[in-house]
Amino acid sequence: MQETIPAGLDRKEAEAYQRLDPARLPKHIAIIMDGNGRWARRRHLPRIAGHRAGVAAVRSTVETAARIKIPALTLYAFSEENWKKRPRSEVEFLMGLLCRYLKQEVPTLNKNNIRLEYIGRQHELPPVVQQKMEWARQATAQNSGMVLTLALNYSARTELVDAFRSLVDAASRNGGLNHLQIDEESVSRNLYTRHLPDLDFVIRTSGEMRLSNFLLWQLAYAEIHVTPTLWPEFRGVHLLESIADYQKRERRYGGLTTDGHSPSRVSRS
Ligand code: FPP
């Protein structure tokens, strides 16, 4: 089906890519990276070893997504619940890991023309982490290829609360609540993801069938793929295989199927 293989794919990735239709790649993929702890437990290692191993999966997935020209990739790195409920030592390790990742990865992000962004309540993170995040964001701001968005201290419900608050604040600054206008457009424009295209596809690793408070508004019409692969074992080739699954689906957005069935006869889009 495919003639030109993007530069930089390894043999397995090239084989998987050849099974894809390059005209129907998702424009925005989000990944719930899960299973670091289980990966470590199976090896009798501490949980942090799983997070450390997860960085290699991030690197491989990001590079492959950029090589095949996915416009936007969003990774759920750290939820608000992780931040508030995990042991302090694990949270501190994750913060350190993030800072090291940003420092090491900026040259590669630039080489691959990737722009870095964040979603989540950044201002609640430790100042030193915020500074490193801002440094990496600015260091990649000129890139025009894929947007890599890291969800850090992120919660979808908090995002909606923040969006409604900013709508109300804007109305009270501009003539009062009589001027408050709330519709789908204005809510979308006030979400953390306003810089991103609509979400087409979400992948969750490690087999759990949950959305875990991730991009709940944006997921309205997204396709979902759950793989048993634990995050530290996930690589670019798994991303390509997931996209092959995405391309088997027929997206209907609540309309009719191509053979004229109403969505009530088949599962709802
Ligand atoms: C979920 O696994 C994973 C996390 C809470 C952290 C994700 C972090 C990484 C993938 C590495 C660092 C990322 C960046 C962007 C530098 P879990 O601990 O909940 O696993 P479990 O469900 O098996 O316990």
- CA Rg, the chain, in Å? 19
Q: Tokens standing for 35?
A: 């299973």
| Best CA proximity match to 217, nearest among 136, 141, 159, 142 | 159
Give a yes or no: residue 161 inside a domain. Answer: yes
Q: How confident is the model at residue 258 (pLDDT cuts 50, 70, 90)?
A: low
Give a yes or no: residue 182 inside a domain. Answer: yes
3-state class percentages of the chain: helix first, strand second, coil last, to nearest 5 = 50, 15, 35
Q: Tokens standing for 109?
A: 């992000």
Ligand 1 contact via 115 beta carbon (within 6 Å): no
Ligand 1 pocket: which of 48, 51, 226 to mutate (most atoms <8 Å of CB)?
51
pLDDT in tens, 221-233: 999 999 999 999 9
Ligand 1 contact via 231 beta carbon (within 6 Å): yes
Taking the centre of ligand 1 as the mean of its atom positions, its distance from the CA of residue 186, in whole angstroms, is 33
Residue 207's CATH number: 3.40.1180.10
pLDDT-above-70 percentage for the chain: 94
Give a yes or no: residue 60 inside a domain. Answer: yes
Task: Count Cα atoms within 13 angstroms, Cβ side, for 60.
Answer: 18
Give the range among 28-42, 134-148, 242-256 with minimum mean pLDDT. Answer: 242-256
Give a yes or no: residue 125 inside a domain. Answer: yes
Flag whether pLDDT at 247 surpasses 50: yes
Q: Tokens standing for 95?
A: 């913060």
- Domain range for 238 is 27-248
Residue from 21, 36, 82, 190 carrying the catalytic annotation: 82
Give a yes or no: residue 11 inside a domain. Answer: no
Give a yes or no: residue 128 inside a domain. Answer: yes
pLDDT in tens, 75-106: 999 999 988 899 999 999 999 999 999 999 99
| Best CA proximity match to 267, nearest among 223, 228, 226, 225 | 223
- Catalytic-residue membership of 82: yes
Taking the centre of ligand 1 as the mean of its atom positions, its distance from the CA of residue 152, in whole angstroms, is 11
Q: List C-alpha distances in Å: 110 to 181, 197, 238, 261, 262.
A: 40, 21, 24, 47, 46
* Contact (Cβ atoms closer than 8 angstroms) between residue 267 and residue 90: no
pLDDT score, position 3? 62
Taking the centre of ligand 1 as the mean of its atom positions, its distance from the CA of residue 213, in whole angstroms, is 15
Report the DSSP beta bridge partners of residue 31. Answer: 75, 203
pLDDT score, position 211? 96
pLDDT in tens, 151-186: 999 999 999 999 999 999 998 888 888 878 899 999
d(CA 225, CA 243): 9
* Contact (Cβ atoms closer than 8 angstroms) between residue 167 and residue 159: no
Ligand 1 contact via 154 beta carbon (within 6 Å): no
pLDDT in tens, 120-132: 999 999 999 999 9
Give a yes or no: residue 264 inside a domain. Answer: no
| Overall domain count for the chain | 1
Ligand 1 contact via 191 beta carbon (within 6 Å): no
Q: Tokens standing for 176?
A: 């009062």
Ligand 1 contact via 60 beta carbon (within 6 Å): no
Taking the centre of ligand 1 as the mean of its atom positions, its distance from the CA of residue 33, in whole angstroms, is 6
Query: Which atom of ligand 1 is the closest one to the Cα of 100?
Result: 16
d(CA 35, CA 81): 16
Residue from 34, 36, 190, 200 carrying the catalytic annotation: 34
Flag whether pLDDT at 37 surpasses 60: yes
Flag whether pLDDT at 143 surpasses 90: yes
Give a yes or no: residue 14 inside a domain. Answer: no
pLDDT score, position 261? 61
Residue nearest ligand 1's atom 15 by CA: 77
Instruction: Give the contacts of 204 (CB within 8 A, at least 6 positions apart).
Output: 31, 32, 34, 210, 224, 225, 226, 227
